[in-house]
Amino acid sequence: MLEQLKPIICEYVEVEADDITLESRFIEDLHFNSYDFMSFLGEIEEQLDVAVDEQDVLELRTVGDAIRYLESLQNQ
């Protein structure tokens, strides 16, 4: 799923896809602001056909956190 998310992340922030890892932090490393992050999650919801909970996303700090969360939604 990391490879699937990289181009989407690059649509919202100026970062090279090769620099995105599971440990990349959305705010500190990738420089997302809150609006970009919520827009990014909205696009992910559409592409993966899942519904994220706004309270849950407050806990997502890294790309790896997001992947684990999205995979758990897909497995429900």
14-67 tens-digit pLDDT = 999 999 999 999 999 999 999 999 999 999 999 999 999 989 999 999 999 999
pLDDT confidence of 5, banded at 50, 70, 90?
very high
> Using CB atoms within 10 A of its CB, is residue 40 exposed (0-12), middle (13-18) or buried (19+)?
buried
Q: Is the pLDDT of residue 75 over 90?
A: no
Q: Is the pLDDT of residue 76 over 90?
A: no
> Using CB atoms within 10 A of its CB, is residue 20 exposed (0-12), middle (13-18) or buried (19+)?
buried
Give the tokens for residue 37: 């992050």
Considering the entire predicted model, what is its pTM? 0.92
